[in-house]
Amino acid sequence: MTSPDPAQCVLLADIGGTNARFALADTGADHPFLAESTREYRVAEFPSLADTARHYLEQTGAKVRNGVFAVAGRVDGDEARITNHPWVIQVPRLRSMLGLEGVRLINDFTAQALAVSLLTPADVAQVGSARWMPFDLARKSTYAVIGPGTGLGAGGLLVRDGKRIALDAEGGHVSFPPGNPEEIEILQRLSRQFGRVSNERLICGPGLVNIHRALSEMAGQDPGPLQPADVTARAAEGDALCLHTLDVFFAVFGAIAGDLVLTLGAWDGVFLCGGLVPRLLPQLQRSGFRQRFENKGRFSPTMGTIPVLANLHPQSGLLGAAAAAAEAFGNVGGTLPTPAHA
């Protein structure tokens, strides 16, 4: 792999609770994300983000001066804590350990939101009949972004006066609102275990296990220890309880995605991202997601017109980080790339 001039080469990272993904951006290019430079590592195998980044740079031989790090946790100034992993990330330490001149630390869903503006029709799959009008920087618009992986992220993207504005948020930690008697009982059971129950307790990989355990208890069964992959694998084999777990998962996912649209006024669409969405896309499209998404009382007719897009780009977090790199370290201040048309 040939890396660009170090003056224009930016280290990118997308850090979740399970995996750390790295790549390079060329801020001098029309489309800065260098997909062929992508590498992925398990966060549990490294003591810190800086150690993982150094390993990546040694593996690839890349020379960089600046970095953009998208992390699954709240960014507070020059520090962030990964919500579902013990890493604490500090900008001065990253700069010192990696020899970087500039570091930009952003929330992972800030990156996902920025990526929305670079997605092409080939990168998305429609959920429901409402059609998406591809991104246009000249049009005032508001989008919601939500996605389950190790946790649940949520955010938004505003387009105003030709500028992209990503909204930093922690919507995955909003309290879970049950929508029917079964979900009320699931909430009661999870409340006994966790106290307060957020949306993330249900809508993420471990959330599949939480839902399955609650449904098993309601049926008088002991499910034993399970991993999220066990639930989806057994569902694929026709296990009735696991299939019902997915039904509940997607119904709740649809309800809270609809709530996010109403909260942000995201009338231009909602993008579903995160590691689970591509893997469970057929089940998502057959599920009750869309019905619960639209079932918003007097706003139901409006919700029926809102496009829902499953983001299938294999590295959308890094794509968004590349957009942030072009904005922070590019030669043209404040200018982000525009999407390549499929």
The model's pTM is 0.87
Interatomic CA distance for residues 63 and 256, integer angstroms: 43
Three-class SS state of 181: helix
- Check whether 324 has a pLDDT greater than 50: yes
Measured CA angle at 29 (ends 36, 124), to 5 deg: 60
**What pLDDT, on the 0 to 100 scale, is given for residue 115?**
94
Nearest Cα residue to 201 out of 212, 192, 190:
190
**What pLDDT, on the 0 to 100 scale, is given for residue 137?**
87
DSSP code for 172: G
Average pLDDT on 78-100 reads: 89
Judge contact between 269 and 136, C-beta under 8 A: no
Token pair of 117 as six digits = 């503006």
- Check whether 334 has a pLDDT greater than 50: no
Percent of the chain with pLDDT over 90: 79
Average pLDDT on 54-64 reads: 95
User: How many CA within 13 A on the CB side of residue 230?
Assistant: 12
List domains and CATH numbers for the chain.
1-107+313-331 (3.30.420.40), 171-311 (3.40.367.20)
DSSP string for residues in 253-303:
HHHHHHHHHHHHT-TT-EEE-STHHHHTHHHHHHSSHHHHHH--GGGHHHH
- Tell me, what amino acid is at 268? D
Average pLDDT on 210-237 reads: 96
Average pLDDT of the residues of the chain = 92
At CB < 8 A and 24+ separation, what contacts does 51-59 make? Answer: 52/13, 52/20, 52/22, 53/11, 53/13, 53/22, 53/94, 53/98, 54/97, 54/98, 56/11, 56/22, 57/11, 57/98
- Check whether 159 has a pLDDT greater than 60: yes
Token pair of 259 as six digits = 């709530």
- Check whether 150 has a pLDDT greater than 90: no
Judge contact between 13 and 70, C-beta under 8 A: yes
| Residues in the annotated binding site | 13-18
| Residues in the annotated binding site for ATP | 13-18
**What pLDDT, on the 0 to 100 scale, is given for residue 336?**
52
**What pLDDT, on the 0 to 100 scale, is given for residue 341?**
40
- Check whether 185 has a pLDDT greater than 60: yes
Judge contact between 309 and 125, C-beta under 8 A: yes
* 300 — pLDDT class (breaks 50, 70, 90): very high
At residue 123, φ and ψ (nearest 5 deg) are: -90, -5
- Check whether 338 has a pLDDT greater than 70: no
Average pLDDT on 212-221 reads: 97
Q: At what angle do helices 108-116 and 316-329 cross, to 10 degrees?
A: 90
Pairing of strands 19-26, 9-15: antiparallel
Helix segments in 140-204, DSSP class H: 181-194
- Check whether 164 has a pLDDT greater than 50: yes
Exposure string of 191-206, with b = 16+ CB inside 10 Å and e = fewer, is eeeeeebbbbbbbbbb
340 vs 171, more confident: 171
- Check whether 331 has a pLDDT greater than 60: no
